[in-house]
Structure 1
Amino acid sequence: MNRNVYIFLLIGLFLASCSQKVRIVLLPDTQTYAEKYPEIMDTQLNWIAHNAKHINFVLQQGDLTQNNNDKEWQTVKNAFSKIDNKVPYILAVGNHDMGSGPGKFADVRNSSIFNHYFPFNEFAKQSHFGGTFEPEKLDNSYYLLNTGKVKWIIITLEFGPRNEVLAWANEILAKYPDRLAIVNTHAYMYSDNTRIGEGDSWRPQAYGVGKDVGEKAVNDGEQIWEKLIRKHANVRFVFSGHILNSGVGTLVSTNDAGLPTYQMLANYQEGVKGSIKGGNGFLRILDLNFKKKTLSIKTFSPYINEFKLEKEQNFDFENVNFGLTKQE
C-alpha cells in the first residue's frame, strides 16, 4: 500500500473511533459497475466491510444499475450484502433504477425491481429505520441514527421527488427538529456548483415522469431547495449524483434560519469527463469533527488504491456550524 494512503487511512480510523468525530462514506452512481465491472463494486464494498467499525454509515446516491434488469440488480444485491449487519447503509433510487421495463429510464415511476431486491421488510427490522412515504416501498424513506451524542435523521428521496413526497418530507423533518439532518437524493446539484434548474441537462422534467402534474409533478434541485431544504434549520447536508460533465459540484447556501447547508454532487460513472471503467472505484469519505468544527472531504478508490487530489475532489471546510441554532 502507498505510504501516504496508509497514513491517511490510519488517521481516519482514529478519527472515526472518537465520539466527537463521524465518518460517512458516499457511493454515487454505481451503474457502470453493475453493468460492466462488478469486480469494482465488490472492491468498494469489501473495503467498507473491512473498515466497518470505523465508518458510521454509508449513503448511496442512486443509479445503482444501468439497465434496471435482474442481472444487474443481483450484482448490486450481492455487493451490498457484504456490509449487511456491519454498517448502516441507505440507498437512493435514480432514473436508471425505475421505468416500465429494462432500459426504460424513468418513463414511468415504477421501482418494483429495486424494491424486490431491497425489500421493505429487510430494512424495517433495523433499529434505525424510521418509515416510508408509501407502504413497503423504500424509494422515499427516513432513518434515525445516533453517533455518540449526535442524533441524525437521514431522508432519502426518489429521482425528481413529487410534490406530495416533498410535503411528506417537510412533515418528517418538522417532527425531528432536534436531529441533524441529511437529505440524500439522485438529482439535485449541477456541475457548475449550482442546483439543477431550468435549462440544465438531465433535469427530471425532461424524463417521462416529468410530464406528471399536480401532486405527482416532479421537482428539480432548485425546487427541492425552495420547497423543502431551506425551510428546515437542521438540514445541514444534501448529497446527490446523476449529473455528468465534470461530475462534481459543491455549494454552501444559507437556509431560512441563517444556518449553512452543505450541498455536494459527486459522480464518476461512464460519461463523466475522464472516467475510466465507470469511475475506477472512486468513492467519497467525509470526516466530520464536531469539536474542531471541521469537515474534510476525500475522494478515494479502493480499487486502484489512489486518492483524487484535485481541489474539487479533496477539500475541507472550517468553522462548520453543526448545531441547530446560529448560537451553537
Structure 2
Amino acid sequence: MRTRPALSTISAFALTSALALLGTASAGASDNEALDGKAGSQDPAFTFAVVPDTQQEVLDVEDTRFLNRMQCLADNRARFDLRFVLHIGDLTNWGWLVPSQYAIASDGMRPLEQAGIPYTIAIGNHDTRAVGWNGVDGYGGSAYAQNPECAIRFSPEECDTRKLVMHTEEFNAVFPPERFAQVGGTFEPGKSDNLYTTYRAGGRDWLVLLLELWPRAEAVEWAKEVVAAHPDHNVIVNTHSYLAGDTSINQTNGGYGHTSGQYLFDELISQYDNIKLVFSGHTGIAGHRTDVGVHGNVVHSFLQTFHSNTTNPVRLVTVDTRKGTLETSIHGPYTGETLAQYDVDLSGIDWE
C-alpha cells in the first residue's frame, strides 16, 4: 500500500494531484471520449466512487457535508473520468419518520444528476421502517418495533423488525427506479430495492447489481439470473451489509432481513466467475478482503461505513483494464482529509 499526501483544498478536492497518485491515465482523453459511459470509449483507466453510510449527514438542514461530497464529485467529473457512483445505504437515519432527512438526501444527489453521473443507492436498515426509536421518547436509530407508537401506527403483528425492514415505501417515493440512469431491470416492478444497471468503461462492460439488505432467497435467485444473462460483464455487487467490522463475511443478519452475507457468498458471489467486486457498509469503519469462488475467480470485497460526525468520506476506485489493476483511496472533501491507512492497490485482476 502506498502512502498518499492529504488533500490540500476542500473546494476543489485536490483532484489533479489525487489523479496522479491514483495512477489514472485519462488526462489526455477528451471529455466526450472519456465520459460518454457508452461503447466507444477505449481508455483503459477510469474511476468510480463509493459513498459510505450518510445517516449522520442528514440530521440537520444546516449540515452541508452530503451536498459538498456530491458537488465535489460532479465538479471534478472530467478530471477523474468518473463513470458512476455507488451509495452503500443508510442514506438517511430514520427518514421515513422525518421527511427532511430524505429532502437533504434528495437535494444532495442532484449535482450528480445534473452532471450526468449515474448512481445507485443500496437500501439500508435505516432507510426502512425498521428503524425509529431512541429508547426513551421520540425517534432514534434503534428498532422501531420497540417504539410504543408502533402498535398504534401499525398493528401489533406488523411491529416485527423482519416485517418492517421490507417496508421501503418512503425510499421508493423519493428514489423510484426511473430516477436512476441506465437501469436494466428490477426484481419487483416499481421498486428500487433490487435492480441492476449497466455501463461501458475502460473498454469493458460493467454491471452494478444492487441488492436489498440481507436479501430474500427469491431476490438472490433473480440476481443469479441477471448475472448468468450477462456473462461478458464485470459484475459489481452493491448491498448494504456483507462484511462485518473485522472484514469477515457476515454470518447473521442481526434480526433484520432474511439471509446473511455468507448466504450471499455461497449462493451468488462465489458461483459466477464474472463477479469481481463487492461493496458494503453498515458496521465497522473500512477494510478489504479477498475470496476465491468455485471457478477459481478472485472476488475483492470492500467495507466502507465510517458514520462520521465531522467529515464526508468517499472511496475513489480507479480501474485500469489494460494493466489489470485497481487502486482505491478514501478522502473527506469537507475537511480535506485523505485516510491513507485505507489505501488498497491490487494487480493481476482479470477484467472481462
TM-score, scaled relative to structure 1 = 0.84
Tell me the CA shift for residue 193 of structure 1.
2.3
2:243 aligns to what SS in structure 1?
A: coil
Unaligned residue ranges in structure 2 (runs of 5+) = 1-6, 30-42, 134-143, 146-160
- Which letter does structure 1 place at the counterpart of 2:343? N
**Structure 2 Cα separation of the partners of residues 243 and 258 of structure 1:** 29
Of all paired residues, the percent bearing the same amino acid is 26
**Structure 1 Cα separation of the partners of residues 19 and 222 of structure 2:** 41
Q: Give the direction of change, closer, same or farther, for the CA distance of 1:317–1:263 in structure 2 (3 Å limit).
A: same
1:9 aligns with 2:63: no
Q: How does 1:296-315 map to 2 (within 5 A)?
A: 296-310=327-341, 313-315=342-344
Tell me the CA shift for residue 30 of structure 1.
0.6
Tell me the CA shift for residue 315 of structure 1.
1.9
**Structure 1 Cα separation of the partners of residues 243 and 219 of structure 2:** 19
Whether the 8 Å CA contact 2:125–2:131 is kept in 1: the answer is: no
**Structure 1 Cα separation of the partners of residues 70 and 301 of structure 2:** 24
- Equivalent residue number for residue 148 of structure 2: none
- Equivalent residue number for residue 255 of structure 2: 206
Larger Cα-atom Rg: 2
1:241 aligns with 2:278: no
- Which letter does structure 2 place at the counterpart of 1:307? T
Q: How does 1:211-222 map to 2 (within 5 A)?
A: 218-222=258-262
TM-score, scaled relative to structure 2 = 0.79
Of 7-16 and 168-177, the range deviating more from structure 2? 7-16
Q: Give the direction of change, closer, same or farther, for the CA distance of 1:156–1:134 in structure 2 (3 Å limit).
A: same
**Structure 1 Cα separation of the partners of residues 201 and 305 of structure 2:** 27
1:256 aligns with 2:294: yes
- Equivalent residue number for residue 97 of structure 1: 127
- Equivalent residue number for residue 59 of structure 1: 86
**Structure 2 Cα separation of the partners of residues 102 and 77 of structure 1:** 20
- Equivalent residue number for residue 203 of structure 2: 149
- Equivalent residue number for residue 158 of structure 2: none
Match of 1:24 among 33, 45, 48: 48
Whether the 8 Å CA contact 2:56–2:309 is kept in 1: the answer is: no
1:82 aligns with 2:111: yes
Whether the 8 Å CA contact 2:314–2:331 is kept in 1: the answer is: yes
1:15 aligns to what SS in structure 2?
A: coil
Q: How does 1:84-233 map to 2 (within 5 A)?
A: 84-85=113-114, 86-99=116-129, 102-103=132-133, 104=144, 107=162, 108=164, 109-123=166-180, 126=181, 128-197=182-251, 203-207=252-256, 209=257, 218-233=258-273
**Structure 1 Cα separation of the partners of residues 65 and 287 of structure 2:** 24
Tell me the CA shift for residue 301 of structure 1.
1.0
2:58 aligns to what SS in structure 1?
A: helix
Whether the 8 Å CA contact 1:16–1:287 is kept in 2: the answer is: no
- Which letter does structure 2 place at the counterpart of 1:88? P
Whether the 8 Å CA contact 1:144–1:152 is kept in 2: the answer is: yes
Tell me the CA shift for residue 223 of structure 1.
0.9
Point out which structure has higher relative CO (alpha carbons under 8 A, 6+ apart).
2
**Structure 1 Cα separation of the partners of residues 303 and 130 of structure 2:** 27
- Equivalent residue number for residue 319 of structure 1: 348
1:38 aligns to what SS in structure 2?
A: coil
Tell me the CA shift for residue 9 of structure 1.
2.8
Whether the 8 Å CA contact 1:286–1:297 is kept in 2: the answer is: yes
Tell me the CA shift for residue 293 of structure 1.
1.6
Of 181-190 and 29-38, the range deviating more from structure 2? 29-38
Unaligned residue ranges in structure 1 (runs of 5+) = 198-202, 210-217, 270-274, 324-328
- The CA RMSD over aligned residues, in Å, is 2.1
Whether the 8 Å CA contact 1:194–1:249 is kept in 2: the answer is: no
